[in-house]
Structures are given as structure tokens and as C-alpha cells.
Structure 1
Amino acid sequence: MKLTTVTYSLGVFLCSIGNLSVAAERVDFGREEYRENCLICHGEAGDGNGPYAHMLTKSASDLTKLARENRGVFPFTRVYEVIDGREMVQGHGTRDMPVWGSAYRVLSGEVMFEVPYNPELFVRSRILALIEYISRLQK
């Protein structure tokens, strides 16, 4: 009887672990970050045809062509600098999109004010998740 209880408990435990891993696989932080902050201008497919694209004075970039326009190499550093935006990127000209680095830093203070944390790590992790998703949009 004890063996049956142990076997049952082990089965329940393994099923719960299995369910957790399935749930964890469904979370795509980069995609969610994109949908929350970028989709409105860059569109669902990343092609620059978002719902607000027609209201912009300058067209939103086609994010699906970043690697192709950089001789087949995804321009990670440039994309990071443009998204972070706290430092002007030489040759970028005026700042046409929101400065997400500053926005994420403010958000980190709002959501993590009661616990010790590193705000730069919070900002970096959100930007990196977003860049990873954008890299998957490449055609």
C-alpha cells in the first residue's frame, strides 16, 4: 500500500513538472515585449505596416530586412542601441522612436520598488528578449 501511495505521488509530481514545462515553453517574452511596444508602428509581421503607421511622419522601419540590409548579418549592436536609445547613435539622426531604455528604467522602479534589484539588468533583459524576437522576424 505504501508503494502505491509513493507511486501515485511520484506520478502526480511528474505530471505537474510536465505541465510546468509546457506552460514555460508557451511564454515568449520577446514576442510579448514586441506586441506591447512595437507592433503598433512596425506591425504584426514587423514589416512597418502597423495600425498607427499611417500617422507617422517618417515610415516605421521594416524590421524583417535588417539582416538582409546588413549583408546577411543581423546588426545586434545597432538594434540594441536604437531600442535602448539613451545614447544618440552616430549617423542615426534625430530620435524618431521612443527611448525604451529610459522607459524600461522608469518601469523597473515602479514594479520593483520594494525589493533590491539592478535596474540596468531589468532594462537589459527586456531589450535582449525583444532583440531575440526581432531576429526571428528576419526574411
Structure 2
Amino acid sequence: MFRRISTMAMGAALAVMAGPGLAQDADLGEAIYTQYCATCHGAGGQGNGPLTDLLTTQVPDLTQLSAGNDNVFPMLQVIHVIDGRTGLRAHGGPMPVYGALFSEESPSDTKYGDVLFTRGKVLSLAYYLETIQQ
């Protein structure tokens, strides 16, 4: 009985992972970036967005994250900045500055679905940032 349940659980997990994953979608990450990040960080991520003239702090060049980390993309650090764990002061508090942005429009009615959907958006954005490294 336990073996059958374990096999079914493993099969369900593999089926979910084999499908088109929200969490690994750099295209979704690009759309999120374009809509919410490019105004400060610029369309190409170089820190030259249209709002930079109004800011009192320098906006970082997101295309140089790997270059500043021995040519290794700092995925975990990037995720922590995006989800607010670093409390980046330039944003007046935790990122994203849009508050509950990444938890809105969840396809699930459960608390766990919201968390997974939110984490998928954050990870998609981080994957996109990895693709624009120079």
C-alpha cells in the first residue's frame, strides 16, 4: 500500500515538473520585468530607466550581476532581493515595491497555491535576469 502511494506521488510530481513550468519561464520573467522593473532599471537592465533622474540612489546595472560575482550568476541573492529578504533600502523597504504584486492573480484558491504561484513569478524574474548577463 505504501509503495503504491509513493509511486503515485512520485508520478504526480514528475508530471507536474514535466509540463511547462511557471517557475522556470524566462519569458514570463521578461514580461514581469518589463512591466514593473524597467522604469527604474531600464529596458535592457543597465540601470538607465526613465525614473532614474528622480531617484536619490544609483540604480544598479542588472546585466553585471555575474561579472561582479566571479562570472557566476548569484541566483539566491537575486531571489532574496526580489522577494524582499534583503530589505534593500533603495526601494524604501522590501522588494518588490509593489507589495502584493507577485501574490495577485493566483490560479489557486488555496494558501499553498498562492505561495507556489508567487515563488514561480519571483523565480521566473530571476531566470530572466540571468539571461541578460553580459
Q: TM-score under structure 1 normalisation?
A: 0.66
Question: Would the alpha carbon gap of residues 81 and 112 (structure 1) be closer, same or farther in structure 2, given more than 3 Å must change?
Answer: closer
- Structure 1 residue corresponding to 2:126, chosen from 93, 114, 131: 131
Render the CA deviation track for 1:107-127: whole Å, top value 9, x for unaligned: 2xxx34983352211110101
Q: Cα RMSD between the aligned structures?
A: 2.4
Contact 1:105 1:119 in 2 (8 A): no
- Structure 2 residue corresponding to 1:99, chosen from 95, 106, 117: 95
Letter in 2 for 1:65: Q
Larger Rg: 1
Letter in 2 for 1:43: G
Render the CA deviation track for 1:31-59: whole Å, top value 9, x for unaligned: 10100111000001100000101111101
Task: Give the alignment of 1:55-94 within 5 angstroms.
Answer: 55-85=54-84, 87=85, 89=86
Q: TM-score under structure 2 normalisation?
A: 0.69
**Distance (Å, rounded) in 1 between the aligned partners of 2:102 and 2:56:** 27
Q: What number of residue pairs does the alignment pair up? A: 105
Q: Which residue does the alignment assign to 1:30?
A: 29
User: Is structure 2 residue 46 aligned with structure 1 residue 44?
Assistant: no
Question: Aligned-pair distance for 1:96?
Answer: 1.6
Larger RCO (CA under 8 A, 6+ residues apart) = 2
- Structure 2 residue corresponding to 1:115, chosen from 106, 109, 113: 109
Contact 2:66 2:74 in 1 (8 A): yes
